[in-house]
Structures are given as C-alpha cells and as structure tokens.
Structure 1
Amino acid sequence: MTDDVLFLSARQVARLLDPDTAIASQRAAFTALGTGGADLPGKIMHPSRFDDSVVFAYVSRLSADSGAVAKFGSVNPGNAAAGLPTVHAVVTVLDPVTGRLAAVLDGTTVTTLRTAAASAVAVDALAGPDAADLAVLGSGTQGLAHARAIARVRGLKSVRLWSPTPQHRIRAAESLTVELGLPVEPADSAEAAVRGASLVAACTLSAAPVVRGPWLEPGCTVVSVGSFEPTRREVDAEVVRRARDHGAVVVDDPQTAAGHAGPVVAALREGLLTPDDLVPLGAVLTGRRTARTGPEDVVYYNSVGLGIQDAAAAWAVVEAAKGERR
C-alpha cells in the first residue's frame, strides 16, 4: 500500500509550501467555504484530564478533485518554554477517487504555515490599504510566522513585538529584523506594542486578554489565532464591543467559532453578540458580506482553525511534490 504514498517531512513541506503558495491555498480554502463548495465536518478538540494539553482531530475535503484530508495532533503549551512548537500533528491525504492513502505530511509545519497564511488573507481582505504598523503578541512559532506572512500582503513600515519573557522577545525581534529588512522593536508591554498599531496579530495561548479595547486605534484590524477553545481569550470584551459597534466581528466559520472561540463564546453567552453578528471570512472574500465600511472601523478576526485550511494546504503540497516528480 505504501509503494506510491508520498511521505513528506517538515523540511519538504516548508520547501514546497512557500509563503505565496500557502497564502493562495488559504484564499482557495475560504473561497470554497464562502461559495458552499467544501466539506467541513465538525472538528474535535478535547482538553486532556492529565495535563494542559489539548488533542484535536480535523477532517475535511476542499473539492471533488481533491480527496479527504485528516489532521490529528495536540497542543502542548509547555513546549514554548523549551523552545519547541506548541502544536504537533500529522496530516493524511486520501485519493479523491479510490480513497486510498495518497500522502502523509508533517502536520506541525502545515499548521504553522497555513495558520499564518490564512491570517495574511484575512489582513488583505479586512485591513485598510494603508495599514502598515504591525503589533505582534507572542514570540513563538506563530508570532514569527505571522510577521512573515503579513509582510507578504502589506508593505510594513514598523513592527513591534511583545511576549512575556524579555529574552524571547528580544531574540525574536532580532531575527525578524534580519528577515523582514526593517527594524522590529521589542516592546516592554502588550499595551506598548498595540497602541498606535493599525494591525495587531495575537499569537499566544493566553487564557487572559492580552489585547484590550481601549488600546486600539480607530481603523485597527485585530487578528487572533490563540483563542481556539472556550477557555482562551486573547482579547477582552471591549475589543469585541468596538468591532460590533464600529466595524465587524469576523470569524473563520460562525458555527465553529460559536463553540470554540473563547471571546466569541463569552460574548454570545453574555448577549454582547448574536449569531448574526458573526461575519464569515469566506463571505467577505466572495462579496456576500461586508466587513470594513470606513477607514475608522475596528475589525476583529478570530480564527480557531479549520480542517479545510489543512486540506487546501496539504493538496498544494501534494501537487507541488507530484510536479517535481514529473
């Protein structure tokens, strides 16, 4: 069975899923959602009873031409202290006609690249054309990946980066300064990073808000990827309220967000939001919904991660790998 199966390591996935290919794959994923052309069963996220890890399983299918894709893995917050990615996973790809195993991919790299690429798609769709001052909260794998990806869709003028450990944020800022070709400033506090920024990327695993509404400039776009379960809330209620009243609350998928996205779950429970307030990113990309209507709107995008993102990214990798074999 394995003679014709592709086995792709982290290094191979990173080479084949270059930044622009990753961004294109995520645009395709959310466009398919927006047109109703994708299969997206509910995902499983189960907090462990033994430690602070979370096990997850996603299954999805992008199109009739691409087979089903499944991702299985876990989130281990303690890895950050050891300098390891907090997400580890494996992705399996099935043939669209026969259902036979077609590929096995390193899911950690897929997750890192597709998550940041999807945020870049969101920034491109939701932020004002002149948004160029970025605040990044988090100095781990996703924080750095988000700075790189957002720089592909906006000509950044400044980047400020904060994380709780000074040496981590200093090291990350130095690395990004070299990669992005512009000074990246390590900020002493989350507030110092966010104030004055037109783009905010929250890439933490925090259960308490690291972004607060009063800090946001008019016109700011906030992207949050760490609030992927009900107990995690990277932004406070004032961020949600400002976006609801003067902008939009955008999510990767309303039904999934209503069950998993901490700030959204809380806002729905407390009556701050109704389900109709949740704008799907795919609907914005396909022109079915509008998010930003003016330059001073505050737009909040909460992503919990969807299997369709993995399906689109995995098939982009598989097609690229097949192309090299021809």
Structure 2
Amino acid sequence: MLFIDGEEVRKRLTFERCIPLMREAMIAFSIGETRQLLRSILPLGAGRLLGIMPGAMGEHAVFGAKLISITPENFEKGRSSHQGIVALFDPEDGAPVAIVDASALTAIRTAAASAAATDALARPDAGRLALLGYGEQAREHAQAIARVRRLSSITIWGRRRERAEALAEHLCETLDCPATPVDSARAAARGADIVCTVTSAQEPVLEGAWLAAGAHVNVVGSSYAGPTEVDNALVAMSRFFVDSRAGALAQGAEFLRAKEAGLVDDDHIAGEIGEVFAGRIKGRQMREEITVYKSLGHVAQDLAAAWAIYQDIAGEMSRR
C-alpha cells in the first residue's frame, strides 16, 4: 500500500491536470454515475470538526473515503485548517491500495473546482479578481482561476493587513499580475468580475449590494451549516449553482440562511455545476446577471484526483 504525501500530491496534481479532472468528476456526480453519502460531521468543540466522506466513482470503479479534520486556529498560524487522508481501495479486489495526504489534495481540488465553475459561469472577458481571505485557499484560487481567465488585477482583503500584503506580493511575482491589498471587503469587491470568498468567517463578509453587474462569485469558505460568508441578498439576487443539491439543502449555510429568512426556496438552486458542464442546463443567461457557485466539496472530487495520482505512481512502479 502506498502512502502519497503532500509534496508528491503537489508535484503531480497541477491545475492544468486537476481542472479537467474536477469537471469530469462533477459531471459523473450530477448524472448519477457516482455513489456517495452526505458528509458526516462530528463536532469536536471550539469550532473543531471531523468530517467523514465515503464514496465510489461507479459500480466497478475506485472507491474509498476521506477523513478530514478542520481546525480553524490553524488558519492564523499559517497552517492548513484542513488535515486528513484519502483512503483508496482497488475496484477489482477491494484491497486498500493508497493513503493520500488530504490537506494538499483538498487545497488543489477545491480551487480547481472553483476554476472550472468560473470558466462555465463568469463572463468570457472577466479579468478583475477579488479575494476575500488570504490563506492557502486564497492563494490556490488565484493560481487556478488564472488558468481559465486572463487576469488584469487582483484585490485582496483579510482581517490582518500584513497577511494580505504578503499574499499580494506572492501573486504579483508568480502570476505577473498587479495584486493589491485593500482595507475592506467592500473595496475588494468593488468593480470585480470574479469574487472568491475563502474565509473562516462566521458571519457574512460580502454583501450583494457591493457587486458589479455581471459578477461571478465562488462561495467556498463554509463547508457545513453554520458559518456564512455572504449575505441573504446576494443569495436571493443571484443565479445560484451548487456542487451538490443534496449537500446544499443539508449543509449549504448561505442558502439555508436565506431560505430560513423566507427569501428563497429550494427551487432557487438553478442546478448543480456538473449539470452545466454536461450541457443539461444553461449557466449564465445574461451578461448583467450575478452568478454564484457554492462549493461544499464532495468525495467524488477527492477520489478522482487521488486515483489519478495513484495510477501515475503505480504505473511508474510497474515499468521499473
């Protein structure tokens, strides 16, 4: 059985490879080819969580499970808040074949999924990116979205100015694109074509009233019912897409809060992003409308990415 660490994941799972993998995985999920249960979440106290996500890519395809811990205080210590493993089982004989570092995998596949959604929902000429948050997911989202849109500027907001400044400097160097820290979320969102909320906020940091017409928003930071990054108005005014309808109805905090306020009902979910990728429903309908992709993450994304890495390594070993 292989243990595939974070360094190996990052070496092999480039965005050029992962974005198409996420697109394919989300199509498979939305057309019913995959099998999985809703994420189970065990509260551990003080905002810490343990998530369990089992699934299979099909009847005779790879299956496995993701075990992930969420420790919010890691965010301010410069460490990933998501730590864990993905266990892979051989589809032929059911033997466990690999344990894959889930921290690196989650960071890359989450941003890659948002980039795939952005490619489908954002306007073709969208170039001004706003990041609300300055941690690992903010960095990865900028890198991933730069693969699907030609970025002309990046604005960054976070509660600690020095962290936003450090990320801006890094992105200026790695993306050859102007990146500027700003003093408020409103200033970051002003005029942006693409906004990514990648925070650990418990209450909304982005309001719909701040958005320019035609903006696309990736709502990423909250992965369970409770913490909410965007306000009810943004949910209600948008064409609202999710990665999993069942997941959003059970755990999509922003949608559930707007629903509880009586502003939307279940039919407000325009569809799963995999349905857009598959051509079953239309994404953006008008240039001026606001689109939202709510990312919760599902195990089909993890399995697709982890299995691709495992097959690479197993193939190399068999040729030695």
Q: Shorter-normalised TM-score: what interval?
A: over 0.9
Hey, what's the Cα distance between the residues in 2 that align with 1:28 and 1:150?
Answer: 17
Q: 2:281 aligns with which of 275, 289, 311?
A: 289
Shift of 1:185: 0.7
- 1:167 aligned counterpart, secondary structure: helix
Code of the residue aligned with 1:314 in structure 2: it is: A
Match for residue 249 of structure 2? Answer: 258
Which deviations, in whole Å up to 9, do the C-alpha atoms of 1:297-317 show, x marking residues without a partner?
A: 100111111111111111111
Partner residue in 2 for 1:97:
92
Counterpart of 1:183 (choices 175, 178, 181) is: 178
Matched, 1:233 2:203: no
Q: 1:63 and 1:179 mapped to 2: Cα distance?
A: 38
Whole-angstrom CA distance in 1 between matches of 2:250 and 2:277 = 23
2: CA distance between counterparts of 1:64 and 1:131?
A: 40
Q: Whole-Å Cα distance in 2 between the matches of residues 102 and 276 of structure 1? A: 41
1:25 shift after superposition: 1.3
Counterpart pick for 1:161 among 153, 156, 160? 156
**Structure 1 residue 210 and structure 2 residue 215: aligned?**
no
Q: Is the partner of 2:35 in helix, strand or coil?
A: coil
Q: Name 1:22's counterpart in structure 2.
A: 18
Q: SS of 2:281's equivalent?
A: coil
Question: Number of aligned pairs?
Answer: 317
Whether contact under 8 Å (1:249, 1:300) holds in the other structure is yes
Distance (Å, rounded) in 1 between the aligned partners of 2:161 and 2:268 = 38
Identity fraction in percent: 35
Tell me by how many angstroms 1:268 deviates: 2.2
Residue 194 (structure 1) aligns with:
189
3-state secondary structure, aligned to 1:152: coil
Aligned partner (choices 268, 290, 293) of residue 277 of structure 1: 268
Question: What is the Cα deviation at residue 80 of structure 1?
Answer: 1.4
1:118 Cα deviation (Å)? 0.3
The answer (yes or no) to whether the contact 1:45–1:56 under 8 Å persists in 2 is: yes
Which runs of structure 2 are paired with 1:237-248 in the superposition (5 Å)? Answer: 237-243=232-238, 248=239
Q: CA deviation at 1:69?
A: 2.0
Name the residue aligned to 2:218: 223
* Gaps in structure 2 of 5+ consecutive residues: none
TM-score scaled by structure 1? 0.95
Amino acid at match of 1:24: P
Matched, 1:309 2:305: no
Q: Distance in 1 between matches of 2:84 and 2:276?
A: 30
Shift of 1:64: 4.0
**Residue 41 of structure 1: how far off its partner (Å):** 1.4
AA at the equivalent of 2:7: R
Q: Map 1:26-175 to 2 at 5 A.
A: 26-48=22-44, 50-175=45-170
Indicate the residue corresponding to 2:314 in structure 1: 322
Q: Which runs of 5+ in 1 are unaligned?
A: none
Alpha-carbon offset, residue 34 of structure 1: 2.4
Q: Secondary structure at the match of 2:36?
A: coil
**C-alpha separation in 2, matches of 1:121 and 1:64:** 26
Equivalent position SS for 1:153: coil
Kept after mapping to 2: 8 A contact 1:237/1:267: yes
TM-fit CA distance, 1:133: 0.5
Query: Counterparts of 2:59 and 2:173 in 1: how far apart (Å)?
Result: 42
Secondary structure of residue in 1 paired with 2:313: helix
Shift of 1:66: 2.9
Letter of the aligned partner of 1:29 in structure 2? A
Instruction: Report SS of the residue matched to 2:144.
Output: helix
Residue 65 of structure 1 and its aligned partner are, at CA, apart by: 4.8
- Deviation digits for residues 226-284 of structure 1 (CA, Å, limit 9, x no counterpart): 121221110001111210xxxx1001111111111111111222332222221111111
Shift of residue 180, structure 1, vs aligned partner: 0.5
Moved more, 56-65 or 293-302: 56-65
Cα distance in 2 for residues equivalent to 1:99 and 1:226:
34
Instruction: String of CA shifts for 1:188-231, please: whole Å, max 9, x gaps.
Output: 11111001000000001111111101100110000011121221
Q: Distance in 2 between matches of 1:313 and 1:163?
A: 30
- In the alignment, the residues of structure 2 paired with residue 208 and residue 75 of structure 1 have an alpha-carbon distance, to the nearest angstrom, of 18
TM-superposed CA distance for 1:47, in Å, is 2.2
Superposed CA RMSD in Å reads 1.1
How much does 1:75 deviate? Answer: 0.7
Is the CA contact (8 Å cut-off) linking 1:254 and 1:275 kept in structure 2? Answer: no
SS in 1 for 2:118: helix
